[in-house]
Amino acid sequence: MEFTAPLARQRAFFQTGATRPAAFRRAQLEKLQAALERHEPALLAALQADLGRSPFQGYATELGVVHTELRHALKNLDGWLHPAGRRTPWFIAPARGWVQAEPYGVALIFGPWNYPVQLLLTPLVSAIAAGNAAVVKPSELAPRTAEAVAALVRETFAPEFISVVTGGADVAVALLAERWDKIFFTGSTRVGRVVATAAAKHLTPVTLELGGKCPAVVCGDADLKLAAKRIAWGKFLNAGQTCVAPDFVLVQRGGRGPFLAALKAAVVEFYGADPRQSADYGRIGSAGHFARLGDFLRAGNIFHGGAHDAATRFLTPTILTDVPLDAPAMQEEIFGPILPVLEFETLDEALALLRNYPTPLAFYGFTNDRTTEARLLAEVRSGGACINDVVSHMIGTGLPFGGLGASGLGAYHGRAGFEAFSHPRAVVRRATWLDLPFRYPPARISLAGLKRAMRVLLRG
């Protein structure tokens, strides 16, 4: 694998300045929009083959998300590109200061397998809007989708602008040996560390969108039935293979019985008595992940579900109770349709338990009490959060989406995505008809005078 020469061609293309004009960026975004429509049948079929995802789910969770991001970027591009004026110090007057978004150059974008279209192409929209060239690397664990996305990219873009590289970890390692101007990685915390280490060698800026165990805390005062319904939706979407899916639930004593009953009722309402027959229920992404999840099934008592079939990588929505805290299911990210439900007595106890975990990508608190809400938000750290819901903080373009600590670094979606692929360049333009003498040696005032002058004239 040789990436040095193609990367040099892409960097040379970037250096021509071709990617900078707004008209170029807009034309490329529109090309991607049209390609996404043209390739829609192939992409939806690939998602069905790789992940058992129905066309409805495939559009709702993948293609529709990229379209939303594209529309938003096209609508807001001019505003994002507009230099933002800033104040400049008096002693350089007259002068103008502004911040302008500078593209990094050639970006490398890695996607995971669980939402293999959305999580690769949404960052690409931001990279293009910000004026970068890019290489995208889909995950090898959703192979048909990787091929379908690769076909779309090759047909749509000139290779010196946007190119695609398919393959596994060996390919990823070879790519990481090169010097990139920006790396955007979505995947596991383990590989995120590998990426950050490789990027550090070249001081390449990174955005790391990683995983973790996203907890849900259901307090006694919450609407238990609604909490159960919303948690069941977010957990069993894409058969639990969602980075922001609630990983486990802590429910306050007293609420446990009604919560579990409502959770089970919601699962049956969504997917029927036999989720195997449901068009809305997905399959596990790979045999390796299926085997890993099988071990988690033995972690506690099965309150609901447990049925599985290795041949079709089917694992029914499963609710576990009485899972010990030292079981792997309570230590590792589950990333599948298994939901441990644990009990807590006081909020202090729940908060103490959550402090033992690395910072997750999302936190979900269910309460109708504003004091409890404030305490939960203050004491449980996470990349993003919802009160009385799950997953919805990452839907759409309005809020930045990203992790903190072990769940990642940086954010994207909408303006945050544009900023993730831009350097905020500070520029000052001075007039030449006036040149105040104060800053030039020799010093004309005493130290005390300088302090007074700085207090008065550089108020901030």
Helices (H), 113-223: 118-129, 143-156, 169-176, 189-202
Binding pattern to ligand NAD, positions 407-446, x when CB under 6 A? Answer: -x--------------------------------------
Task: Tell whether residue 119 is a contact of ligand NAD (CB under 6 A).
Answer: yes
Residues numbered 324 to 353 that lie near ligand NAD (CB under 6 A) are 333, 335
Between CA 147 and CA 149 the distance in angstroms is 5
CA distance 194 to 52: 30
Cα angle, residue 388 at apex, residues 385 and 393 outer, rounded to 5°: 35
- Shortest CB 406 distance to ligand NAD, Å: 10
Residue nearest ligand NAD, CB atom distance: 211
CA of 253: how far to CAs of 126, 218, 303, 339, 456, in Å? 45, 10, 17, 18, 60
d(CA 397, CA 423): 20
Q: Which of 209, 214, 219, 333 is catalytic?
A: 209
Residue 342's DSSP bridge partners are: 250
**How is residue 362 written in tokens?**
């999302």
Token pair recorded at residue 135: 């290489």
386 a catalytic residue:
no
Catalytic residue status for 243: yes
- Given 243, 333, 386, 419, the catalytic residue: 243
Angle, CA of 68, 99 and 207, to the nearest 5°: 50
Confirm if 280 and 56 have CB atoms less than 8 A apart: yes
Residue 218 bridge partners (DSSP): 251, 366
Closest distance to ligand NAD from the beta carbon of 218 (Å): 22
Question: Rule CB under 6 A: is residue 317 a binding residue for ligand NAD?
Answer: no
Residue 172, number of CB atoms within 10 A of its CB: 21
CB of 392 to ligand NAD, least distance (A): 15
Backbone phi and psi for residue 353, each to the nearest 5 degrees, phi listed first: -65, -45
Cβ nearer to ligand NAD, comparing 77 with 195: 195
Smallest distance, Å, CB 246 to ligand NAD?
12
Interacting positions 127-166 with ligand NAD (CB under 6 A): 137, 139-141
Taking residues 162 to 201 in sequence order and writing x for each that binds ligand NAD by CB under 6 A, - otherwise, the string is ------xx--xx------------xxx--x--x-------
Q: Binding to ligand NAD by residue 235, rule CB under 6 A?
A: no
Could you tell me the smallest distance in angstroms from the CB atom of residue 56 to ligand NAD?
Answer: 20
Give catalytic residues, as residue numbers: 209, 243
Binding site for ligand NAD (CB under 6 A): 110-114, 119, 137, 139-141, 168-169, 172-173, 186-188, 191, 194, 209-211, 243, 333, 335, 361, 403, 408
